[in-house]
Structure 1
Amino acid sequence: MQLTKGPEWGAFAHWGSDSVILQQIATLEELVMPQNGITVKGIEALAKSFISNPSLRVVNLNDNTVTETGSYALAMALPSLPKLEVLNLGDCLCRDQGCHSVVDSLSPVVHRNLKEVDLSGSELSGAAAMKIIEKWRKFSSAVCLTIASNNLGQTFELIRNMAPENVQIGDSGDDQGSCSSSEEELRSVVGTSDDEKIDETPSIEEDSRSNEVMSLIKSCEENLERVQDQFESATQEEAARLLLELANIITRSGENCEVIEMAYNVAQNVLHRVQTVRRKPISATSQVLNNLVAQAGFVKCEEKWDIPIDNASLSLLLNQLVARGYFLDQRDIIGKYL
Structure 2
Amino acid sequence: MASHDIAQLADALSKTHVGDGELSYKGMGLKLDNAESVEELVREMEQYQGLRAFRLEGNTVGVDAARAIAKALESKGLLQRCYWSDMFTGRLRSEIPTALRSLGGAIISAGARLTELDLSDNAFGPDGVKGIEQLLKSPSCHTLRELKLNNCGMGIGGGKILTEALIECHRQSSALGAPLRLRVFIAGRNRLENEGARALAKAFQLMGSLEEVHMPQNGISYTGVMALASAMRHNPELRVLNLNDNTFTKKGTLAMAQALRHLRNVQVINFGDCLVRSEGAIALAAVLREGLPILKDLNLSFGEITEAAALVVAQAVEDKPYMEKVDLNGNCLGEEGCEALREAMENMDKGDMLASLRFDDEGEPDDEEDDDDHENGDDDSDDCNEDNEEDGGNVKENGITRKDDSPTKPQTSAEIMSFLSCPSAEKLLQLGEMRTNLQQQVDASDLHKAADVLLKIASLYSEEPETKAAVLETIDAVLKKLLSGSALQSYCFLSTLLVLMGLLKGEGKMKKVPLVPGQLLCLEHAVQQEYFPQHPALLLHTFVTKNSEALKSCSSARERLSSALEKKCHGQH
Q: Equivalent residue for 1:270?
A: 531
**Structure 1: gaps of 5 or more residues:** 193-211, 232-238, 274-338
Deviation at 1:230, TM superposition (A): 2.7
Looking at structure 1, the residues matched to 452 and 296 of structure 2 have their Cα atoms a distance apart, in angstroms, of 39
Q: Equivalent residue for 1:219?
A: 453
Q: Equivalent residue for 2:321?
A: 140
Deviation at 1:244, TM superposition (A): 7.8
Computed over aligned residues only, the root mean square deviation of the Cα atoms, in angstroms, reads: 4.0
Q: Equivalent residue for 2:301?
A: 120
- CA shift in 2, pair 1:261/1:228, >3 Å: farther
Deviation at 1:53, TM superposition (A): 0.6
Matches within 5 A, 1:229-240: 229-230=475-476
Deviation at 1:135, TM superposition (A): 2.5
TM-score normalised over the length of structure 1: 0.58
- CA shift in 2, pair 1:144/1:242, >3 Å: same
Matches within 5 A, 1:113-262: 113-140=294-321, 142-155=323-336, 156-164=338-346, 165-175=351-361, 177-179=363-365, 182=368, 185-186=370-371, 188-191=372-375, 217-219=451-453, 229-230=475-476, 242-243=480-481, 258-259=495-496
Matches within 5 A, 1:70-89: 70-89=252-271
- Counterpart amino acid of residue 297 in structure 2: E
Deviations 1:113-172 (A, max 9, x none): 211111111111122222322222122374421111111114222332332325425232
Deviation at 1:50, TM superposition (A): 1.2
**Larger relative contact order, structure 1 or 2 (CA cutoff 8 Å, min sep 6):** 1
- CA shift in 2, pair 1:6/1:172, >3 Å: closer
- Counterpart amino acid of residue 170 in structure 1: S
Question: Could you say what secondary structure the match of 1:87 adopts?
Answer: strand
Question: Could you say what secondary structure the match of 2:193 adopts?
Answer: coil
CA contact (8 A) 2:194 2:220 kept: yes
Q: Equivalent residue for 2:203?
A: 21
Deviation at 1:177, TM superposition (A): 3.3
- Counterpart amino acid of residue 270 in structure 1: Y
- CA shift in 2, pair 1:104/1:244, >3 Å: closer
Looking at structure 2, the residues matched to 19 and 128 of structure 1 have their Cα atoms a distance apart, in angstroms, of 30
* Greater share of residues in helix: 1
CA contact (8 A) 1:78 1:106 kept: no
Counterpart selection for 2:191 from 9, 12, 17: 9
CA contact (8 A) 2:220 2:246 kept: yes
Deviations 1:2-38 (A, max 9, x none): 1111212331424443222111010011110110111
Q: Equivalent residue for 1:299?
A: none
TM-score normalised over the length of structure 2: 0.36
Q: Equivalent residue for 1:33?
A: 215
Count of residue pairs brought into register by the alignment: 236
CA contact (8 A) 1:40 1:189 kept: no
Looking at structure 2, the residues matched to 148 and 3 of structure 1 have their Cα atoms a distance apart, in angstroms, of 27
**What percentage of aligned pairs have identical amino acids?**
26
